[in-house]
Structure 1
Amino acid sequence: MSELQERMPYVAAFPEALGTGIIVRSAQTISPVLQRDLQSLIDEYDATLSRFRTDSLVGLMAAATCGGSFDFPDWTLPLFDLYDALDAASRGAIDPCVGEDLIRLGYGADMTFTIEPDAHEHTGSIHGRPTWRSDVERHGTTLVTRRAVHLDFGACGKGYLVDLLARRLRQSVGSDLLIDAGGDMTVSVADAAQPVTIGLEDPADASNAVGIAHMADGSLCASAPSRRHWGAAHRLHHLLNAIDGLPAHRVAASWVAVPRSATTLPDRSGVPAGTATGTVADATFSAFPTAIADGLATALFVTEPDRLAEYVAFSCALLTPDRRVILSRWFPGRFFTA
């Protein structure tokens, strides 16, 4: 039995969650009642935000050619606030309206992975595709549109679900737990001197690790195009720059670590870079470190780390296409020879 299995012997698995599966480990028993509660949360999340379901709220927005008013559950408020901040921090390169670009490039609900003939004439905000800031009017958790809008919350949606599950779990089984959602992970252990060791997957070989990280109380998220790519020479993938709607290729993989007590992203829409605004208390999503780490791991493909660091305290590691490793200060891990 591994050290992790000894420390957290109780396991609950949700293999169908978000298409990648979620595994929960805990030092205390995860009761059948709690497992059903977690599954209900996962089902509600999918029925609300999945762009692969025509009956989800996101699916209904995509089908509303003349737009409409769509009331989302209260629990979506921090997620929407986080996208407001990521949109501002990335200057529009991170935008949930990128779902339309993904469909044009072949990554739609039908999973054809066939690019539309005129895709490059329409992808991205530069070609008039709807944007989160201009085409989605938001009143709390109510979204109002004037035309069909194809939303994709993949940049930080999986991490947000991990945080929602972690909140439910801590109320029942305490803080000794680990949630792994296929690259998005949150960890909390009673003894900070004994952190959990996490392998950092090689984007060129999923069976190999390029390094290890150590986490005791926080979230670690990875992003790479290696698991979702298609087309000639695998040049198409799901990590797009929302401005031109095309896959980003300057980074091969990213890892972001955010402590559970996140110091994070006040609303800086329209505020010049370097201008101090807001506090952690102003941000409704500061209690969602996995969502923040997930969003930043994606944003690093299209935004410089220094730009993002103006908005949030985090540490990161980047692997470039030529196998160079770039480490920020305080990143809780080390790399082998890449």
Structure 2
Amino acid sequence: MPHPGWAAFSFEGIGTAWEISTPGPLDTGHRRRLLDVVEDYDAAWSRFRTDSLVARAAREAGRYQMPDGAGALGSLYRSLYRLSAGAMTPLIGGSLEQLGYDADYSLRSRGTPLPAPPWDDVLDWQDTVLTTTAPVVLDVGAAGKGQLADLLAAELRSQGVSEHFIDASGDLLNSGPAPVAVGLEHPYDPGRAIGTISLGAGALCASAANRRAWGDGLHHVLDGTTGTPVRTVIATWALAGNAMTADALATALFFVSGKELEQDFEFSWLTVFSDGSAAYSAGFEGVLFE
């Protein structure tokens, strides 16, 4: 519990565990509206259910009206697609399926890695409207969990719950003002920490090669230009003013240096490389253990 004495509302959503902590317990109506936010997001963006908008786009080309917030998500992805030279892309879904991270969780590679299609060849993303020229498997997992955390926070504020702490399986959003001490999970040993950080108002999101890993060195962070897992980075953390940005930048750090990303985004960061070295921003608020 981030704050002693606070009440917790726990649930499953978009395939992961959530816990929302508030000074007092949320009533049934408040909880129902929060779960509706989760369901609406899943119904639009999930590639693991057959009735979602993303599943329809995987079956046929067309024009798809996405929910509010899609414009901000698309703009963020487009910026990171450019900065990573196509390595970070929302069109990575087919590449993940090729390696076994599919709707059935088969976790069996289908053969040679499959690069993602070039954005401008198949996708036009204008605000909340997606137009595709061919069936495409979209996967917005690199930023979607963070965006959903932001949407849940907005719903809480609309209910008059200004103080809250959201834990989306380790991706954290703190309304503030009281800071919360957070351990930074060791990338090779989830039971240990490599450091700590004090999270004030804002978001802390992480990405690691040991999460959602399977097979012979396969994991979920793929380079869109090759369809293969990134090998040089094993874990990243990003702190930003909102969870969508922090979530996306935690993945972007697998492809682009933090110093380069700082030219376009206001955030702090930590990257741990596969050779055991680490790099972090001048403004990184954490403490790393020896």
Shift, 1:110, TM fit: 1.4
Other-structure match for 1:275: none
Letter in 1 for 2:215: G
Cα distance in 2 for partners of 1:302, 1:3 equals: 32
SS for the counterpart of 1:103 is helix
C-alpha separation in 2, matches of 1:236 and 1:3:
33
Match of 1:23 in 2: 19
**For 1:180-329, what aligned pairs fall within 5 Å after superposition?**
180-190=167-177, 194-232=178-216, 235-258=217-240, 260=241, 289-329=242-282
Q: Which residue of 2 aligns with 1:335?
A: 288
Match of 1:179 among 158, 162, 166: 166
Which of the two has higher C-alpha Rg?
A: 1
Residues 181-236 of structure 1 deviation map (CA, whole Å, 9 limit, x = unaligned): 0121111223xxx411011111111111111110111100000021211112xx11
Structure 2: distance between partners of 1:304 and 1:322: 16
Are 1:90 and 1:308, in contact at CA under 8 Å, matched by a contact in 2? no
Q: Secondary structure at the match of 1:96?
A: coil
TM-score of the aligned structures, taking structure 2 as reference length: 0.95
Residue 108 of structure 1 pairs with residue 102 of structure 2:
yes
User: Match for residue 47 of structure 2?
Assistant: 51
Pick the aligned partner of 1:93 from 87, 95, 103. 87
Q: Distance in 2 between matches of 1:305 and 1:140?
A: 27
Partner Cα distance (1:196, 1:76) in 2 = 30
The match for 1:11 among 2, 8, 12 is 8
* Alignment CA distance shift 1:38-1:3 (3 Å): closer
Aligned to 1:280: none
Please state how far the C-alpha of 1:54 moved relative to its aligned partner.
Answer: 1.4
Matched, 1:147 2:134: yes
Q: Which residue of 1 aligns with 2:75?
A: 81
Moved over 3 A (4+): none
Please state whether the residue corresponding to 2:210 is helix, strand or coil. helix
Distance (Å, rounded) in 2 between the aligned partners of 1:237 and 1:211:
24
How far apart, in 2, do the equivalents of 1:74 and 1:195 lie?
Answer: 30
Shift of 1:173: 4.0
Q: Which structure has more helix as a fraction of its residues?
A: 1
Q: Which amino acid letter does the alignment assign opposite residue 206 of structure 1?
A: P
* Percent identity between the two aligned chains: 37
SS of alignment partner, residue 4 of structure 1: coil
* Closer/same/farther in 2, CA of residues 3 and 87 from structure 1, 3 Å limit: closer
TM-score (norm 1): 0.82
Conserved 8 A contact 1:93-1:303: no
Give the structure 2 partner of residue 285 of structure 1.
none
User: Is the CA contact 1:10–1:25 (under 8 Å) kept in the aligned structure 2?
Assistant: yes
What SS does structure 1 have at the residue aligned with 2:159? helix
Indicate conservation of the 8 Å contact 2:71/2:126, yes or no: no
What residue in structure 2 maps to residue 137 of structure 1?
124
Q: Any conservation in 1 of the 2:197–2:287 contact (CA below 8 Å)?
A: yes
- Supply the AA of the counterpart residue of 1:59: A
**Number of the residue aligned with 1:278:** none
Tell me how large the CA RMSD over aligned residues is. 1.5
Gaps of 5+ in 1: 261-288
Partner of residue 59, structure 2: 63
- What letter is aligned with 2:84? S
- One-letter code aligned to 1:243: T
The alignment status of 1:34 with 2:30, answered yes or no, reads: yes
Amino acid at match of 2:9: A
